[in-house]
Structure formats: structure tokens, C-alpha cells
Amino acid sequence: MSDVGMKNSRPLSPHIQIYKPILTMVMSILHRITGAALYVGTILVAWWLVAAAAGPEYFDFVNELYGSLFGRLVLFGFTWALVHHLIGGLRHFIWDMGYGFGREAREWLARATIIGSVAITILLWVIGYAVR
């Protein structure tokens, strides 16, 4: 049999388009996305710290940029990514301890991660505006 015939008869490797999306799968993907988003957010925090060290004019410029509607949306997204990734890490820690592998427990933890991350992010921003 030729090499061409063997390649055509081999099964395709499973990928995301074959599987039916379930909540825990979506949460795994979101955990990876939020982890990548934290890199960008860390650059924003570092830029803010550099601006603080550079002097009052540059610091005012960066604060004005972060205080704009777009800047606040980006910072809100960064806050949510940070909280979501943290809670997702706690979910993984629970699994590392040997708990939460049952179907109901996995679903509950996934829903708690979503609801908790949104609620805590909103709470942090409400507290931030109240203190301000």
C-alpha cells in the first residue's frame, strides 16, 4: 500500500470542532484566555508605575488615559480576568486535592466561577468608586 493510501485512512485527531461544548470545557478555554489577558494587564500596571516614577506630567497623562471611558472598560476587563483566573485557579486547586470530580460538582464549580468572578469584579469596582 502506498503512503498516500495510509494517510487517507488514518483517523483525524480530535479537536475543538468535534466535541460538543460543555461548561467545563468553556471554562478551561476561558481560564487560558484570562491567563493571556493578564500579561497585557500586567504591562498596563507596569506602565502606570513607570509613569508614577517619571514625574507628575506623565503620571497625569496616564491617569487621564486610564480614566477615560475606554480606559475604564479595559481596566474593568482586566479586573474581571484577574478575578476569574484566580477563582479558576482555586477550582483547579480543589481538583488537585482530589475533590469535585463528580458531574454535579464540576458543573457547580464552573457556574460558581462565572457568577463569582462577575459578582466580585462588580463589588470591587463599587467599593473602588465608593472609596474614591
Amino acid code (one letter) for 129: Y
Q: Are 112 and 100 in contact (CB under 8 A)?
A: no
How distant, in Å, are the alpha carbons of 49, 51, 52, 75, 127 from that of 87? 26, 30, 30, 18, 19
Is 85 annotated as ligand-binding?
Answer: yes
Rg for the chain, CA atoms, rounded: 21
- Binding-site residues sit at 85
- Binding-site residues for heme sit at 85
